Structure 1
Amino acid sequence: MPGDVELAQLQATIDRLRSEVEGQRRAMRTRAVIEQAKGVLAERLGCSPEDAFGRLVQLSQGGNRKLVDIAAELLGVAVPPDAADHIPVVMAPGSVSAPSEHSEQPPTGPASAQAPRPEELGPGFAARYHLAAAALGSADTPDEVAALPPR
């Protein structure tokens, strides 16, 4: 049976490994956003991906901001969420008065209210969209999504 010293060492190892795993998960969530931003910047500036990454780092350090936030903002400007994804807001299951396949009438009533278009949601929306998409793409379970810190 391990003594107190050995238990303390084991607990320290467990804590360190948990921290490392969380760091790796965080890196996975942000890597796709940063890689996409590097590609956009390299294409727009006509430079290598390494030079584009260097530019992102300069912007991050110059503004004392996280690299992933800079990358997400760049993507938000270069690749805004598609307005074609604009769908009606459903108020409750079965409450949408959607037209039938053969009807040319638009939906009516309160359930046919449209969600705001991405461009109506303010400048930070597109950046948050790309960060959320990356987080959702890297989560293995709904619990991991629920545990994500708010931004």
Structure 2
Amino acid sequence: MTTRIDNVGIAVRDLEAAIAFFTDLGLELLGRDEVSGEWADTAVGLDGNHARIAMLEAPGGQGRIELFEQLHPDAIETEPTLPNEIGMHRVALQVDDIDASLALAARHGCAPLRGVADYQGVYRLTYLRGPSGILVMLAQAMQPG
């Protein structure tokens, strides 16, 4: 049996804002769709499921994120995840220039939770809140390779 991770799904309040944020950080928009019907109800386990979705991919096919904006039933607001909570946690993106990536994130109103840290001279990294409160970790390798 072969298993691989295909994508990670993230519910967002505003699909367009989330697409703009992640594409500015270098992900490529692969496509969009609107899903509903019996197959969607069955797959998701939610009667009347209706959502707008977008699939994004990291350069070189290194991972995918599916963003979805729930149209029906209504989305349920929750508190943003904290870094020490159990459950789905964050999306981590490796970037080649963390300062440039933070400048792009700032255009979307996103800033580091505390600052940029140096992890043992190997990575510069930070957590920030993306669209809809999504925790996003940015990491830049400090040495090529």
Q: Which has the higher helix share?
A: 1
| Shared fold per TM-score greater than 0.5 | no
Q: Bigger radius of gyration, 1 or 2?
A: 1
TM-score by length of 2: 0.26
TM-score by length of 1: 0.25
